[in-house]
Amino acid sequence: MMQNSSIDPCKDMEARTCSALQPLALAFASQKETFDNMLSWAEHRISVPRHVASVYKACMADVTDGESAEGIRKLRQFMSQLNIPWLTAPSPGLDALDVLLNLAFNWRVELWFGLNVERNLDGSKNIIVGGESSLRVWLDIHKDVEDAGAHKAQWDGFISMVARGPATLPPNDYNVVFPVNEYIFKELSGVLRVRLPKPVQFVVRDAQSHTRSISAQHWMRALNDRIKLYGPFVSSDSITFRNAVLLKALDRIFTKHSSSEILKHLSWIFLQMYGPIADRRLLSITYGNEEEARSRRPTFCAEQVTAAYPGLIESLYVLRYFNSSTRATIDRQLASIKNAALSKVAGLAWADEAFRQEISQKLERLAARIWPPKHFLTEHGISQVFASWFRSSANQSFIESWLSAALKRSEFRGNASLTAVLQREPRPFTEPLMRYDYFCNEVFTSAPVLSRLQSSIFGTKAMRYGALGLAYATQLVKVFDDVGIRVDAHGRLRPNNSWVAVGTKRALATRDGCLNPSLESTIPEVPALEIAHAAFEDSFGEDSAARSMRVVSGLNEEQLFFVVACVSMCRNWETLPSTLLDCNKAVRNFAPFARAFNCSPNSAMNPSRKCPYLD
């Protein structure tokens, strides 16, 4: 177990466990190796992966000038189909909201946000808008280019390669697009900085109270034009933004800029994101040099291939790494964490009975979803579902294969049962390990993401509960965080917490605000650690002495649990602010940690005043 042994765990546990994490380059290499190994394994078992491997190889191959010209022509046609202008003024009458909704729902091109449609028990619909992990992709590119002072160089580089034929630009077009781009970047980047996103929900007829320049009629028209699922939208249907900052940003952007200006921005962002599908040489312009582009290309290609064939790559992961025994092991582990959470909630002395029952019922109903679902694809199913996707794939260029898959995928959106499954598909390589959905009361993860924990799942109890167990507990506690207690069983936001008794509300505020204000909430780290450790203890039954046995690197099981837990909370290259976790916050407020490492009283990780949550 890699640690920085020069740092005392009682002084700074996070520094001890996190300072030796792999650098970004190794993370990319690890992703490529896993993707390559999985495809190589699957090629010998099923015919479909051979086609996928050929698509991936086409993405990795160098592009000739002739292939580039043809690819850019096809990309231009696709953008026209999406009503995204091609480096020219948009056609009159095009609506930016209509384009954004179409991209997000029908094509899963989530430039600003992702979009799901849920049907409530009473038949009404709820449009759920969010998806910060996909937004982060182009914002990260923008920031990297900005830090290098290379916006104009990137623009000129792209234009020199893609603006061929009649699509020429006036000399000052950069000066028109860039200020709009900067304003939108500033507004949307605020979404990613939010530590604890607060949702907003309203019915369509009240939309203009939240989006001043987008009327209820405008929303209704765009929704009905672009989302053909569960019947027409009516004014009493709901729109839910997972993050209030995104809603405010959308309002300000549409108030300040016209549809024409926003569409020019979308054109430029789309080219940055998807231009390399036509010509991978564009990656060297985005990343500044050929060497960096080469190192990024495997991840770019793996992401695009995974997104192109929904559920296929993930199902290959299941076949390769997650047989029925593995899945059963994971299910048992998650069930033990849920049971520990239920036990903790049932024993809350500071909460009234109504609160305990409400939270317990919500935890009981909570579902853990591992993508793809068990019933979705098997070896036979993979061949059945995807065989038609590759019938004309021989000798296709990468962009031809990608566009063909995009068209096939868009056809799924008219199928309610398929859409219900596919809209829960995690975005490849960018999602956190697990994600709780407040409005569906479900925790989502995927087989490829769980493959990061492969060694822990089959390791010692400390490894299982410190990694997978803590990750799941971190999501479960959101059931009773500030947002969770406001969402009812039907996915509707309650206007306030009036259902919570005054005494319990006061106790919640005390527990949640016990820490220094700069550390914000005790949730999720403190209660998550309490739950994961309780499940870890329970797993030994009456053999509690086994927790003191040395198992690895001179650590006993109890100590190893905390080391693995802190490693799983380490910040890395893909961590979003809303998923940041603080190991030190968790362990300094948990007495068993201090006992495990014999921390002196009043040391940094063993303060006299602690802030427990469920204990």
Q: What is the CATH number of the domain that holds 167?
A: 1.10.1380.10
Q: How does residue 165 score in pLDDT terms, banded at 50, 70 and 90?
A: very low
- 392: pLDDT confidence band, cut at 50, 70 and 90? low
Residue 88 in this model has a pLDDT that exceeds 50? yes
User: How confident is residue 573, by pLDDT bands cut at 50, 70 and 90?
Assistant: very low
Please state, rounded to an integer, the average pLDDT across all residues of the chain. Answer: 86
Q: Flag whether 27 is in a domain.
A: no
Quick one: 273 and 362 in the same domain? no
> C-alpha distances in angstroms, 357 versus 328, 390, 486, 507?
29, 52, 15, 16
Q: Are 320 and 306 in contact (CB under 8 A)?
A: no
Lowest-confidence range among 84-88, 100-104, 399-403, 533-537? 84-88
Domain boundary among 251, 278, 305: 278
Q: Where are the alpha helices (DSSP H) in 232-289?
A: 244-256, 259-278, 282-287
Rg of the chain over Cα atoms, rounded to whole angstroms, equals 25
> In one letter, which amino acid is 193?
R
Mean pLDDT of 417-440: 76
Is residue 552 helix, strand or coil? strand
Do 136 and 203 belong together in one domain?
A: yes
Give domain status of residue 471, yes or no: yes
Residue of 54 and 41 predicted with greater confidence: 54
Where does the pLDDT of residue 168 fall: very low under 50, low under 70, confident under 90, or very high at 90 and above?
Answer: low
For the cut 90, the answer to whether the pLDDT of residue 314 exceeds it is no
Domain end, chosen from 214, 249, 278, is at 278
CB 237 within 8 A of CB 224: no
Angle between helices 65-81 and 259-278 (to 10 degrees): 140
Band the pLDDT of 243: cuts 50, 70, 90.
very high
- Does residue 518 share a domain with residue 585? yes
Bridge partners (DSSP) of residue 119 are 125
% of the chain exceeding 70 in pLDDT: 87
pLDDT above 90 covers a percentage of the chain that reads 51
In a domain, 378, yes or no: no
* Comparison of pLDDT for 96 and 387, the residue scoring more: 96
Report the domain count for the chain: 2
Q: What is the dihedral of CA 596, 598, 600, 606, to 10 degrees?
A: -10
pTM: 0.87
User: Looking at residue 541, which CATH number applies to its domain?
Assistant: 3.40.390.10
- Residues 326, 264: one domain? no
Please indicate, yes or no, whether residues 202 and 351 belong to a single structural domain of this protein.
Answer: no
Q: Are residues 233 and 334 in the same domain?
A: no
Helix (H) / strand (E) containing 596: helix 591-596
Q: What is the pLDDT of residues 204-215, one digit of tens each?
A: 999 999 999 999
CB burial of 127-150 (b: ≥16 within 10 Å; e: otherwise) equals bbbbbbbbbbbbbebbeebeeeeb
CA angle 387, 389, 391 (to 5 degrees): 70
DSSP string covering 415-458, please? -HHHHHHHTTPPPTTTS-S-EEETTTTEEEEEHHHHGGGHHHHT
| One domain, residues 112 and 222 | yes
**DSSP calls for 108-175:** ---SS-EEEEEE-TTS-EEEEEE-HHHHHHHHHHHHHHHHTT-HHHHHHHHHHHH--TT----TTHHH
367 and 250, same structural domain? Answer: no
Instruction: Give one word for 123, left, alpha or beta, with left for phi > 0 and alpha for psi -120 to 50.
Output: left
Q: Is 87 left (phi over 0), alpha (psi -120 to 50) or beta?
A: left
| Residue 367 lies inside a defined structural domain of this protein | yes
Same domain, 244 and 330: no
Residue finishing a domain among 211, 246, 278: 278
Residue 550 lies in a domain: yes
Is the residue at 251 inside a domain? yes
- Per the CB < 8 A criterion, the answer to whether 204 and 129 are in contact is no
Asked if 258 and 148 count as a contact pair (C-beta separation under 8 A), the reply is no
Residue 164 pLDDT = 59
Task: Specify the DSSP element, H or E, that contains 304.
Answer: helix 290-308
Q: Do 610 and 601 form a contact (C-beta atoms < 8 A)?
A: no
Question: pLDDT, tens digit, for every residue of 402-421?
Answer: 999 999 888 877 777 777 77
| Predicted local confidence at residue 185, as pLDDT | 92
β partners of residue 201: 240
Domain extent, residue 257, equals 96-278
Phi, psi of 426 (to 5 degrees): -65, 150
Segment holding 551, helix H or strand E:
strand 550-552
pLDDT band at 123 (very low <50, low <70, confident <90, very high): confident
Question: Which pLDDT belongs to residue 27?
Answer: 42
pLDDT digits (tens, 9 = 90+) for 128-156: 998 776 677 778 888 888 888 888 888 88
Contacts of 262 (CB under 8 A, 6+ apart): 96, 180, 184, 253, 254
442 shares its domain with 571: yes
Q: Is residue 612 part of a domain?
A: no
Mean pLDDT, rounded, for 525-542 = 93
In a domain, 344, yes or no: yes
In sequence order, what are the beta bridge partners of 202? 239
Rounded Cα distance, 234 and 224, in Å: 9
**Are 171 and 258 in the same domain?**
yes
The owner of tokens 């490829």 is 448
Residue 262 corresponds to which amino acid? Answer: I
Identify whether the C-beta of residue 203 lies closer than 8 Å to the C-beta of residue 238. Answer: yes
**Domain co-membership, 260 together with 341:** no
